[in-house]
Amino acid sequence: MRLGAFSLSLSVKDLVVSKAFYEHLGFRVLAGSLEHKYLIMKNENALIGLFEGMFEGNLLTFTPGWDESGQVVSPFDDVRSIQKHLKHHGITLESEVDESGSGPASFVIKDPDGNVILIDQHV
């Protein structure tokens, strides 16, 4: 199964302060905007998402259809086929995708220790 680009999505209190901090660590803005209250930042192959006021806690995020530079890859495993595979193997979903649809969609699962995983397709 190809899950796409991996990033850690961080819930931050102040996006401007967090942006400056991660820039000091060598990250640069890849996508998002201060106005929309989120930034995707990159340092070599490492990706982090900074999200102000969008969710509680931190998430492991996989983005089917994207590489670590935010470029579309083809072929890729659609979020719906990933969801079907996980359900077939008894994985409980916290939220689900309409499997009759197409295009951008996302769903959430938790690992056995309660860590939240977002599968978030943008294409």
pLDDT at 42: 97
Residue 11's pLDDT is 97
The structure tokens listed for 18 are 């967090």
Task: Please report the pLDDT score of residue 101 as a whole number.
Answer: 94
Which tens digit of pLDDT belongs to each residue from 7-32?
A: 999 999 999 999 999 999 999 999 99
Ordered by where they begin, the domains of the chain are: 5-121 (3.10.180.10)
What type of residue sits at position 90?
G
**How much is the mean pLDDT over the chain?**
96
Q: In this structure, what is the dihedral angle of CA atoms 66, 68, 69, 73, given to the nearest 10 degrees?
A: -30
Tell me what pLDDT residue 43 has: 97
Work out the average pLDDT over 75-95: 97
Peptide bond into 75 cis (omega under 30): yes
Confidence band (pLDDT; 50, 70, 90) for 58? very high
Tell me what pLDDT residue 102 has.
95
Strand partners, 62: 6, 119
Instruction: Give the model's confidence band at 65: pLDDT under 50 very low, under 70 low, under 90 confident, else very high.
Output: very high
The predicted pLDDT at position 91 comes to 97
What's the pLDDT score for residue 46? 96
Return the number of other C-beta atoms located less than 10 Å from residue 94's C-beta.
11
